[in-house]
């Protein structure tokens, strides 16, 4: 599950950091596809009037990832394909009022590998919500990132070994190859 690698966010990153995240994510996506495992993309987007945005956005008139804008689209360098499942979310968690629970049940998923941004917010919330639903959760180390390094570090420290297992892309690919 790849969460919010959107233009709005990645455009603000140093180019080499964004490129590394994209390349590593594509490597993992390619491994999943080669083993015929599902790839799920999650995108945040809001109406231009922010009527569906969360409180801070409405209160402070923060207009990001607006529906129909380039900012709300997945970065063009990502290996998204029309056959991939895509979930649109309105809050930090990919589970909040989306069809994700139903999709995962339909696919018979018991373990999730998470990638994307931002580690301290959307990744953390999705990981916690997945864990609360009894999914085993793996964070792909080179495929998560944040604009807030300190909060990302604290979040990773908090989750690792409790809510998630952090693993390198190489280790995840190796494990997938053995178990499928």
pLDDT at 177: 81
pTM of the shown model: 0.94
b (16+ CB within 10 A) / e for 118-135: bbbbbbbbbbbbbbeeeb
- Residue in the block written with tokens 């909040």: 96
- Which residues have CB under 8 Å from 166's CB, separation 6+? 138, 139, 141, 156, 159, 160
* Residue ranges in the chain whose pLDDT is less than 70: 180
pLDDT at 180: 62
- Which residues have CB under 8 Å from 170's CB, separation 6+? none
Q: Which domains occur in the chain, in start order?
A: 2-179 (3.40.50.850)
What CA–CA distances, in Å, run from 133 to 29, 38, 126, 158? 24, 19, 11, 18
A 10 A CB-CB count for 116 gives: 27
pLDDT at 65: 98
């Amino acid at each position: 599950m790849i969460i919010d690698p959107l233009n709005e966010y990645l455009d603000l990153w140093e180019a080499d950091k964004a490129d590394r995240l994209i390349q590593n994510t594509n490597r993992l996506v390619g491994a999943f596809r080669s083993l015929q495992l599902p790839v799920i993309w999650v995108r945040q987007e809001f109406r231009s009037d922010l009527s569906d945005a969360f409180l801070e956005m409405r209160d402070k008139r923060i207009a990001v990832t607006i529906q129909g804008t380039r900012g709300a689209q997945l970065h063009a360098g990502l290996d998204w394909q029309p056959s991939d499942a895509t979930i649109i979310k309105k809050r930090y968690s990919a589970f909040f009022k989306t069809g994700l629970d139903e999709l995962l049940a339909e696919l018979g998923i018991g373990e999730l590998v998470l990638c994307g941004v931002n580690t301290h917010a959307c990744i953390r919330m999705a990981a916690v919500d997945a864990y609360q639903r009894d999914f085993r959760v793996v964070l792909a180390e080179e495929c998560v990132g944040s604009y807030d390094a300190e909060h990302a570090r604290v979040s990773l420290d908090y989750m690792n070994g409790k809510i998630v297992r952090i693993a390198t892309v190489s280790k995840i690919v190796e494990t997938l190859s053995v178990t499928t």
